[in-house]
């Protein structure tokens, strides 16, 4: 794993930005916007080719200063016949800081409004994919921070137009190699085109070998020629957009509510069925939960997923003014000195920006918390607490014309008599029907016949509510062995217990006692004199997956598989999907998982790397069962 290195920008003649790493300029000194329009828009026959389309997808090999994106966005916005949704995917090995981005974009006052919105949404410089929803969610920018030469294979998309705009072939040969060009071919949609400013012979040959028909055309001002191409293969569209955008979501907890929100934002009509009288009454009913990523020195899958989820949730919260949350920061203290050394090493090796992650010694930790602690740990300055039920309500209310919510609607079973799924109540009456049904009912999901295979356990959790006067208030969310929040509406939340095979819905004094005891291992004088018998709180049941990762995607038609079965070969039940297995991380997972599921339904570019998508696929358990079964046979 390599640290992400921000670009080091210099300026040469005419204020043109220059990269010392590649000894090359970011764009022509002779009118950057004009070059972008001539080479990349004109070379890909835009805006004509996106007109009247439901969706159009562009992939760029070097984001740089954002010039091509801004020119494309502006052309799309001013086109009355534009496609309904524009996806723009761009890779960047050395992304600019937001300050450098703003400096570079000052050179193009014609893009002023768009540049300001882009800068407002610009993500922290951490590796991986970053999804930016712009222009009222009609323009979706997916930034891939990392080396395009290696990251291209992680992209899941069907691309209509390629902007090949890496630094020049002699300075950046990896982005023009035969191997890279064949990687582009893997992503092509029917009729895909490409354009680039370079006409180098070896680039033309590499593109021809990757099944692109290429030809030279007159170049922009200051350059005699440029190159355009079209993919010659007639392979079918593997990512066609659906013609019927109606869906049922079962469950109005944070998983179901954010899924309904993402569906509505993408133009779907959604019916949400919830057995409770209001949203967020199950595991999402806690007064507050913790929002922060979970780093690891090797940036493993859980680290990558919680980071992406943390940033996606932050972006969603920013778009929902009625969602209650506080970026008060999260302090994750080490358990003991050896763990403290591991935490410190992880921060050094990851190199994330300090506004995302820092290591703090015990003196600074004490200052940030407002209480003395005896060890250091991770500090997440932009983390905090979130009230999940408020997110549920705000998400469901955001698109009233697209989302129909039915409360006190208990689904007894689901069937698919013909082409549509039906959700039935106990009397057999149809509550809702649609071609797509998404199970987001948390711990209750395995009760349905189609989800009996779900390897999900119900984890009983109990949190304790303390009066604000019971303990000295905290300035930030605290986590070590137990966790605690600052005071919210006169109440301080601490927790949480966890037990399996336990369906007791009543609060237990012993759990309140345990919650206090765990917190006092961190803060020995916390709430001294408080009698646990006087406490109240809340009990919830979390849907826990065996590998602690969400279970998101198309539901397998059968759990039968062989050890050689690939995920994409597992048959799926038409139109049946799940949003399950969030465990105690519903706040961190929900926005990202909703984006992923809707992207899969729409055939749109995915917001996560392909290996992470596979790690979340419900079909993974069929393959593991097959491998485990074969091993048992060999041992018999």
Mean pLDDT of 9-29: 64
Mean pLDDT of 33-37: 93
Distance, C-alpha 402 to centroid of its chain = 22
Higher-scoring residue by pLDDT: 470, 253: 253
Higher-scoring residue by pLDDT: 341, 497: 341
Using the predicted structure, report yes or no on whether residue 41 has a pLDDT greater than 90: yes
Mean pLDDT of 389-409: 97
Provide the 3-class DSSP secondary structure of residue 20.
coil
Rounded to 5 degrees, φ, ψ at 592 are -65, -45
Using the predicted structure, report yes or no on whether residue 214 has a pLDDT greater than 80: yes
List the 413-415 sheet strands across, edge first.
Answer: 413-415, 421-424, 430-434
- Cα–Cα distance between 403 and 218 in angstroms, integer? 50
What CATH class is the domain 457-544? alpha beta
Using the predicted structure, report yes or no on whether residue 162 has a pLDDT greater than 90: yes
Contact 95, 125 (CB under 8 A): yes
pLDDT at 27: 61
Contact 51, 83 (CB under 8 A): yes
Binned at pLDDT 50, 70 and 90, residue 628 comes out as: low
Mean pLDDT of 443-462: 92
Contact 535, 466 (CB under 8 A): yes
Distances (CA, A) of 491 to 220, 384, 516: 64, 16, 15
Q: Pseudo-torsion of CA 158, 164, 165, 168, nearest 10°? A: 150
Using the predicted structure, report yes or no on whether residue 30 has a pLDDT greater than 60: no
Binned at pLDDT 50, 70 and 90, residue 633 comes out as: very low
pLDDT at 152: 94
Mean pLDDT of 273-279: 96
Binned at pLDDT 50, 70 and 90, residue 632 comes out as: very low
Higher-scoring residue by pLDDT: 290, 23: 290
Using the predicted structure, report yes or no on whether residue 636 has a pLDDT greater than 50: no
Mean pLDDT of 111-119: 97
Using the predicted structure, report yes or no on whether residue 24 has a pLDDT greater than 70: no
The strand pairing partners of 544, in sequence order, are 457, 582
Q: What is the DSSP letter of 168?
A: P
Can you identify the CATH homologous superfamily of domain 9-231?
Vaccinia Virus protein VP39 (3.40.50.150)
pLDDT at 630: 43
Paired tokens of 486? 């600052």
pLDDT 10s digits, 297-310: 999 999 999 999 99
Q: Which has the closest alpha carbon to 385: 523, 492, 507?
A: 492
The DSSP bridge pattern shows strands 225-231 and 212-218 to be antiparallel
Q: Does domain 242-328+382-454+561-602 correspond to CATH entry 3.50.50.60?
A: yes
Question: How confident is the prediction for the chain on average, in pLDDT?
Answer: 91
- Cα–Cα distance between 390 and 595 in angstroms, integer? 19
Helix (H) or strand (E) holding 551: strand 551-556
Which CB contacts under 8 angstroms, 24+ apart, belong to 21-24? 21/94, 22/167, 22/168, 22/171, 22/172, 23/171, 24/167, 24/168, 24/171, 24/172
Mean pLDDT of 364-368: 97
What are the extents of the domains in the chain?
Answer: 9-231, 242-328+382-454+561-602, 330-379, 457-544
pTM above 0.75, yes or no: yes
pLDDT at 235: 76
pLDDT at 561: 67
């Amino acid at each position: 794993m390599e640290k992400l290195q921000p670009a080091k920008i210099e300026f040469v003649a005419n204020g043109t930005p220059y990269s010392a790493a590649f000894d090359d300029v970011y764009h022509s000194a002779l009118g950057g916007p004009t070059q972008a329009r001539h080479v990349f828009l004109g070379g890909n026959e835009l805006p004509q080719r996106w007109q009247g389309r439901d969706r159009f997808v562009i992939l760029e090999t070097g984001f740089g200063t954002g010039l091509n994106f801004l020119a494309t966005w502006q052309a799309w916005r001013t086109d009355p016949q534009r496609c309904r949704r524009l996806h723009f995917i761009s890779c960047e090995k050395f992304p600019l800081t937001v300050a450098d981005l703003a400096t570079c974009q000052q050179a193009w006052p014609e893009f002023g409004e768009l540049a300001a919105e882009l800068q407002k949404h610009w993500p922290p410089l951490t590796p991986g994919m970053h999804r930016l929803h712009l222009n009222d969610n009609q323009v979706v920018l997916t930034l891939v921070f990392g080396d395009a030469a290696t990251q291209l294979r992680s992209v899941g998309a069907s691309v209509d137009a390629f902007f090949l705009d890496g630094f020049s072939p002699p300075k950046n040969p990896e982005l023009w190699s035969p191997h890279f060009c064949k990687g582009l071919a893997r992503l092509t949609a029917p009729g895909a085109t490409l354009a680039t400013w370079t006409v180098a012979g070896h680039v033309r040959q590499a593109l021809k070998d990757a099944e692109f028909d290429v030809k030279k055309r007159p170049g922009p001002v200051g350059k005699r020629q440029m190159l355009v191409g079209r993919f010659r293969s007639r392979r079918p569209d593997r990512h066609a957009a659906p013609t019927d955008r109606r869906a049922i979501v079962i469950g109005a907890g944070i998983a179901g509510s954010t899924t309904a929100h993402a569906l509505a934002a993408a133009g779907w009509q959604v019916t949400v069925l919830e057995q409770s009288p209001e949203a967020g009454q199950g595991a999402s009913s806690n007064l507050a939960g913790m929002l922060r990523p979970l780093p690891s020195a090797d940036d493993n899958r859980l680290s990558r997923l919680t980071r992406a989820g943390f940033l996606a949730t932050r972006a969603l919260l920013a778009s929902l003014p009625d969602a209650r949350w506080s970026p008060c920061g999260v302090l994750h203290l080490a358990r003991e000195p050896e763990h403290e050394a591991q935490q410190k090493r992880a921060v050094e090796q990851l190199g994330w920006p300090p506004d995302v992650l820092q290591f703090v010694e015990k003196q600074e930790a004490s200052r940030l918390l407002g209480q003395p602690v005896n060890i250091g740990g991770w500090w997440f300055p932009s983390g905090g607490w979130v009230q999940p039920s408020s997110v549920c309500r705000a998400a469901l209310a955001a698109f009233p014309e697209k989302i129909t919510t039915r409360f006190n609607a208990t689904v007894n079973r689901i069937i698919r008599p013909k082409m549509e799924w039906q959700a039935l109540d106990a009397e057999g009456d149809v509550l809702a029907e649609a071609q797509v049904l998404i199970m987001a009912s948390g711990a209750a999901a395995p009760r349905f016949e189609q989800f009996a295979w779900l390897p999900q356990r119900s984890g009983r959790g109990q949190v304790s509510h303390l009066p604000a006067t019971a303990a000295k208030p905290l300035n930030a969310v605290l986590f070590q062995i137990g966790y605690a929040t600052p005071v919210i509406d006169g109440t301080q939340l601490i927790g949480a217990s966890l037990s399996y095979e336990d369906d007791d819905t009543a609060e237990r004094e012993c759990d309140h006692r345990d919650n206090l005891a765990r917190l006092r291992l961190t803060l020995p004088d916390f709430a001294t004199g408080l009698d646990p018998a006087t406490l109240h709180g809340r009990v919830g049941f979390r849907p826990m997956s065996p590998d602690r990762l969400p279970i998101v995607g198309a539901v397998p038609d059968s759990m039968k598989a062989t050890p050689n079965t690939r995920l994409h070969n597992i048959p799926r039940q038409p139109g049946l999907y799940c949003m399950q297995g969030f465990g105690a991380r519903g706040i961190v997972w929900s926005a990202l998982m909703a984006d992923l599921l809707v992207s899969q339904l729409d055939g749109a570019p995915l917001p996560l790397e392909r290996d992470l998508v596979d790690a979340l696929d419900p079909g993974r358990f069929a393959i593991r069962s097959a491998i485990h079964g074969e091993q048992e046979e060999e041992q018999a």
